[in-house]
Every structure is written in structure tokens, then in C-alpha cells.
Structure 1
Amino acid sequence: MYTRNVRIPQFQLQMAIALLLSGLIFLSCKKDTVSPSVPIPAVDTNMVFIDASNTNIHYSGRIDFSNPKAPAFWFPGISIKASFQGPSIDVVIKDDASGTDQGTNYYNIFIDQQLHTVLKVNAEDTLYKIARNLTDANHTIEVFKRTEAQVGSSSFKGFCLQANKNLTASAKPAHKIEFIGDSYTCGYGNELSIPAPPNGNPDTGFHSVNENNYTAWGAIVARELDAEYHCTAYSGRGIYRNNNGAATGVLPSIYNRINPDDASSQWNTATYIPDVIVIHLGTNDFAPEQLSTPDMVDSAAFVSGYINFITTLRSYYPAAKIICVRPNSLTDYYPVGLKALTRMTRYTKAVTDHFVPTDANVFYFALAPQNAPYGEDWHPSAATHQSMAAQIKTFIKTRAGW
């Protein structure tokens, strides 16, 4: 599923925004002595705006900082953290998603490491009230993007705090980890827990409200190992072909992008050097085998494509531990007679075996095949994601020496 953006002529857009902001600022804003103000409801004129360029804000994930006062992002798992003073805080986000059931972005908002609210954003609003009547003390906030790139992009503008209060520096994790994958790493549909037929029907279709990357296995592992988290994942994408059989836009070809659907949106790999890279790919390469006339995986294309991708990653990250995970999505009983799990195991091992003579930091790991209950469209539920994280956490910790 791909969302569409309505394009407005740039001049008209700039004029409309300028007029809107000038009117709202006139009605309701105070100005911080450090940062310019943004529209704030009249009842909150004691709040001041701190823009997104403040150095006490800690960003994690692939983010476009070409406009430091409105950094933009697409991938799931984007995290924006800060410590703040005082009893109140708001966030300012400009969202560009379509607003449909498939195209609405959601954010987890944490105050003092506890889930405070799930924020549904839209293209019309920018300022969202988050907390009032907290203790007049130091607190932490995290804004975490639950939804993936196909849902839509957002830009973060900043926080609003009570007048005379400030942001302060927050602690950073000890390690760095990157999870590369598809819908199983995005957290597609993991908010639901659906029994297998005949008691349930996981064929639901995608709904962005039910995707929560925070409870996906990669994010869980990162938190439990005190690692900064990057999630480079996109539903439907494969190593050499996608779930629709197309070779265009496979994960290795979009890896270098901030916006995975824009070839000009280039990510500087030197910006974030992971200690560990975990790859969970291959499910979608096998998906065309489920057609009425199976379109079988080309084993040579799969293995060579995977080897080439790891070789590229190694050129960016010479010291990283790279873990190739056999996906937990396949079985040997469906499609009947194709032994998909056995073949996936063989192909993935062929990839890691290729590096044995020359690279001791490429590893193979097999997740146990998933079982019911399921999330949307037979994806892992939150409980299965927790199991996936538990299975691999010690393996990562041992290999990384953490």
C-alpha cells in the first residue's frame, strides 16, 4: 500500500502558511527570549516555544535535518527525547499523511518513561497539548513514531513549555543497534491478537492504528540492551524482489535513503555507526510462491543479492556485528509441498557461510516459527514480538560483548 500526497504550488503554500501563522500568533502567543513563538491556544499564553534545533533535544533514527527547525522523517521508530522543567509540555508536529485508515501517523508519548498518551496526528493541526499539572520538577519526554514510511511523513517543530522553564540534556544509551527488515520489523498489525481460523480471521488488511513499532521486537531488544535504535524497515520489501514480485524498491536499493520512496533523499551512513546490525529479510521474496501458480524464489538471485547487501553494509560499518536472521514467517507445510522454511534456512546459511573465511563478524540466527495469535494479516502479535526479542537478545549481547 502506498499513500498519495496532494501537491500544492509552492508559492500558494507558503502564502497560506504565512497568513495562518501570522493571524494565530497575533491572537495567542508569547515569545521566548531564545526562540521564536508558534501558535498556542489563548488559554496557554503562559507557554513558550522551544524550536526543534535546541541542542538539548536528542533525535534517533533517519531524519532529514536540512531544515533544523523542522526535521523531517519517514521510517518507523523515530525517537525524539528531552528532559524538561515544569508542570506542562506540548509538542508541535507538522504531518503530511493522508489521514485515511491506512495513512494516519501515530506517536507514543512517554512522560518519565511511562506511556502518557497515543497521539493521532493530522495534516491540519500542528500543536498538540500533552501534559498539564505535572509536578513542578524535572521530567523526561519521548515522542516515538509508531508507524512506517508508507503511512506518511512528519516534521517535528519543537516543544512548548511553561514560561521560564527550559529543556535540559538527557542521558544517551551506551550502545547503537540497527534493525533492517520488512513488516515483521515495522510492527505491522501487532496491536491486535487474533486467533487462527476457525476461531479468528487474521486477513484484516492494514490499518495504521494497529502498527506499533515501539512494541516490535527490534525496539524491545534495543531498550533492554541500552542501545540507541534505528529501524530501517519497510513492509512488503525483500532482498531481490518484493511481495508483489517486483524488483524495484527492494530493501537493499532503498537502504541509503532518508525517505525510502525518494531516490534523491540520501542518508549519510557516517551519521550513525551501529555496533550491531540485525537483518530480518526474505519473507517477501518467498511471498510470490503463494500464488495459485507459484513463482518460485530464484535461490541464486536471493543469495547473491543478500551477499552483496552485506558487503555494502560492511563497507559502511567495518566493525559492526552483522546478524542475518532466518525469518519466523515461513513454514514447511504452507504452501503445501514447497518446504519454504527449509529452503529459507539453507539460503540464509549459504549467505553467512560465504563470509566465514573472510569476516568473523557475520552471524546466522534462526527465530522459531511464529504461532497464533496473530496481528493483522498473519503478522506477529505483540506477544510474539516479545518472544522474538527474548530469543535473540542474549545472542546479540554475547556477540557484541555488551
Structure 2
Amino acid sequence: MRWLSFIPAAAALALSSCKLVHGPPEKRAEFPASHPAVHYVGRWEETADGDRRASWPGFYLSTGFTGRSIAVQIDDPGNYFNVHIDGEFQRVVRGPGNAGWVTLAKGLSPGSHSLRLARRNISFARPTEISRFALDEGSRLIDERSQPRLKIEFIGDSFTAAEGNEATAPTLPWERKFAVTDSEKGYAAMIARDLDAEYVTVCRSGNGVLCDWQGSRSSAMVERYGRTLMDERSPRWDFSCWTPDLVVISLGLNDRTGLARKDGSIREKDSANFRREYRRLIDTVRAAHPQARIVALSPYTPWAREQIGRVVTELGSPRVTYATFDEFPGGYVADGHPTVETHRKMADQILPQLPGLKPSRNRR
């Protein structure tokens, strides 16, 4: 799966490369977002007029096309997107702040090309909405999708969203993290590339199994898992749309923070509630995807490892396995989030623990 070429973070995020270019080709052929040649990966809503909307982190789309340029009509509050042409990273573009046209590539060689457009950052603002694509006059979209050998769903928090992974500062305001987040350089994307897999991330910064990092139990992941859009209760997600072979649940860090008392301890009652909700999340995933294998991936805190380990042991199912990743001192930025290098270490540690899976030869 040749869809990402790494470049230095500073180069990827230079303001000169993060251009907002409005307008499709002057003489153009337009195609709706619903065109069958466009492949959407992640949880996308199809609107009544055929547009596509998404808000869970890490979503992307791909298509083939002919001609020398391609533009997209998009309604987006200002998120950042990676543009890949013919399997190579080209540039970072930013959403227009409202509805408008954004040129993704121009001046290409004549002939056929491929596009991958991936949102880099998580956002709590309104969803991204794709309406139309524009090509040079006489050009067309081409369906280039192939059946993936493996599908993986990652359920998690800000670590899974790769929040702030390209930052250099130890702390940053929330919205300043957007420009220094690249979901395609997170551990989930790295594992997917290493396994030549198609992947979806269902993750939200601050969330946990039982509560968020502030202790609020109003929006735990078990309640959000059935949503098409991250922060909207409807529409509900149709699980038949995309069926993973493997589901990795990576939660517990925010629960540990949110449940801790002033002295750092956690009451056994709260630990028991966490285990109950973790089991409920596993049961929810199993009901949605009965054929999938599940990996309960514990973060590095001793409390999370103990609680999640107990859940897996008590389940006693060969289709639910336990895995973990370590803390890597010095490898965190932007309020305790892993750097790109730390995400690579996490991926390398997690991969051998995934049941029956081996990295492909073209590992990167």
C-alpha cells in the first residue's frame, strides 16, 4: 500500500506549503461527491443531496483521475489535510473556513493520476463536508480501489488521533495543536502501513471508557461508538458499511486521570466500574463485528494494565487478547502527547502482539 512518503515535519508544515488555493480549473468537468469512483474510508455520512460529511479523526478519501489538475468543493472550518498524488506526499492544504473550492494539485503531467486526501488533525468543530470534484475539461474520475488484504479499526483517544505529534513545544493551546498534528504519522497509521491494511480510527481526545480526563462520564466512548459523526448523536453508524478483521481498543489513560483522587489513588468501586464499562465496550464491538478479533491494548500506567488485564482474563475468549505499550521518557510534547518518533516506537512494540499478523516487506 504505497500511499505515504514521509517528509521532515518542518517542511511539511511550512506556511508556504500549507496553501489555501481557491477555485477549480477554469474550464472544468465537475463530479459529485457521490461519484462511484471516489472511495471514502472512515465514518462518513451521506447527506440527502449526496454530499459526504465526516468528523472522526483520520478519515480520508481516494480516487483516480485523468488530466493535469484536481480541485474539491469543501465546507470545512479550517482543518489541515494531506494531499498525496500518485502515492507521494505533495502538500498540506487547509479548509477554507466555510464552503469553497480548494485546488489540490495542478500542473501535473498528462495522463492518469491518483489522489489521496486525508485530514491530519482532530477537531471539535463542525464536520468536514465534501460536495464536488473538478477536473480539467474532458477529464474523468477513475475507480482505482482494490480489496484490502486486511481491515483494522482503532478505538482510542488523543494518542490514537496522533494529537500534537509534530510539535516541539512541551505545551500548546488546543487550536495551535491542529497545525502540528498529522494522523498519518500516528501509531495506528504506521501499523496499518506495516500490515498493508486499510484502517479506520474511532477516537476522541480526552475520552476514556468510563470517563474523560476531567472525570466527566457524560460522553464515554462506549456511548459514542455507535455514532456516524463524533459529536452528533444521529445518524447512527451502519456497521455493515465497513467490517474490520481486527479491532484495537486503546483506552484507559484518561480514565486513570479522571478517576484519580487528590492523593493519586483510585477507589476500588471506580476501578470496578471501569472494568464493567470496558467489558461493555468489548461486548458492543463484538455485537457489531462478530467475526473480528479484538485486541485490548493497555497504555503504560500500572492501574490501566491491571484493570484491562483482569477484563481480558475474566472474559477468557481466544478472540480477545491483551497487549500493551510502554512509556518512552523524553518522547512527549504538546501536553504529554507522543512525538512521531514515539509513535514509531509504540507501533514497533504493538505489532508483534497482534494475533497472527506479520508486517509486509515494504515496511515504513
TM-score over 0.5 for the alignment? yes
Does the 8 A contact of 1:241 with 1:248 survive in 2?
A: yes
Structure 1 residues 17-96: aligned runs within 5 Å: 40=23, 44-67=25-48, 69-95=50-76
Aligned to 1:302, the other structure's residue is in SS state helix
Match of 1:222 in 2: 192
- CA shift in 2, pair 1:254/1:400, >3 Å: farther
Match of 2:285 in 1: 313
Deviation of 1:291 (Å): 6.5
Match of 1:105 in 2: 79
Alpha-carbon distance in structure 1 between the residues aligned to 2:263 and 2:83: 46
Alpha-carbon distance in structure 1 between the residues aligned to 2:89 and 2:324: 32
Which stretch of the first structure deviates more once superposed, 80-89 or 125-134? 125-134
Does the 8 A contact of 2:195 with 2:357 survive in 1?
A: no
Alpha-carbon distance in structure 2 between the residues aligned to 1:397 and 1:193: 35
Match of 2:158 in 1: 183
Q: Which residue identity does 2:315 align to in structure 1?
A: F
- CA shift in 2, pair 1:87/1:182, >3 Å: same
Alpha-carbon distance in structure 2 between the residues aligned to 1:84 and 1:396: 36
1:381 is aligned, of 327, 339, 344, to 339
Aligned to 1:129, the other structure's residue is in SS state strand
Match of 1:153 in 2: 127
Residue-pair matches, total: 334
Does the 8 A contact of 1:240 with 1:247 survive in 2?
A: yes
Alpha-carbon distance in structure 1 between the residues aligned to 2:118 and 2:48: 20
Match of 2:12 in 1: none
Alpha-carbon distance in structure 2 between the residues aligned to 1:291 and 1:376: 24
Deviation of 1:289 (Å): 5.6
Per-residue CA deviations over 1:341-394 (Å, capped at 9, x if unaligned) read 2222111110111221xx211010011213213231110011111111122223
Structure 1 residues 367-378: aligned runs within 5 Å: 367-378=325-336
Match of 1:337 in 2: none
1:354 is aligned, of 274, 289, 314, to 314
Alpha-carbon distance in structure 2 between the residues aligned to 1:362 and 1:265: 29
Match of 2:257 in 1: 287
Normalised to the residue count of structure 1, the TM-score between the two structures is 0.78
Q: Of Structure 1 and Structure 2, which has the larger fraction of its residues in helix?
A: 1
Match of 1:246 in 2: 216
Per-residue CA deviations over 1:214-271 (Å, capped at 9, x if unaligned) read 1111111112212111110000111111111111000111100012222223111121
Q: Of Structure 1 and Structure 2, which has the larger fraction of its residues in strand?
A: 2
Does the 8 A contact of 1:107 with 1:118 survive in 2?
A: yes
Aligned to 2:206, the other structure's residue is in SS state coil
Which stretch of the first structure deviates more once superposed, 297-306 or 183-192? 297-306
- CA shift in 2, pair 1:156/1:245, >3 Å: same
Matched, 1:115 2:89: yes
Does the 8 A contact of 1:193 with 1:373 survive in 2?
A: no
Per-residue CA deviations over 1:139-196 (Å, capped at 9, x if unaligned) read 11011011224143110112211111111111332221100000010111111145xx
Deviation of 1:120 (Å): 1.0
Matched, 1:343 2:303: yes
Structure 2 unaligned spans of 5+: 1-21
- CA shift in 2, pair 1:289/1:247, >3 Å: closer
Which stretch of the first structure deviates more once superposed, 220-229 or 277-286? 220-229
Answer with 1 or 2: which has the greater Rg: 1
Match of 1:163 in 2: 137
Alpha-carbon distance in structure 2 between the residues aligned to 1:261 and 1:388: 28
Does the 8 A contact of 1:276 with 1:400 survive in 2?
A: no
Aligned to 2:74, the other structure's residue is in SS state strand
Deviation of 1:310 (Å): 0.4
Among the aligned pairs, what percent are the same residue? 28
Cα RMSD over matched residues? 2.1
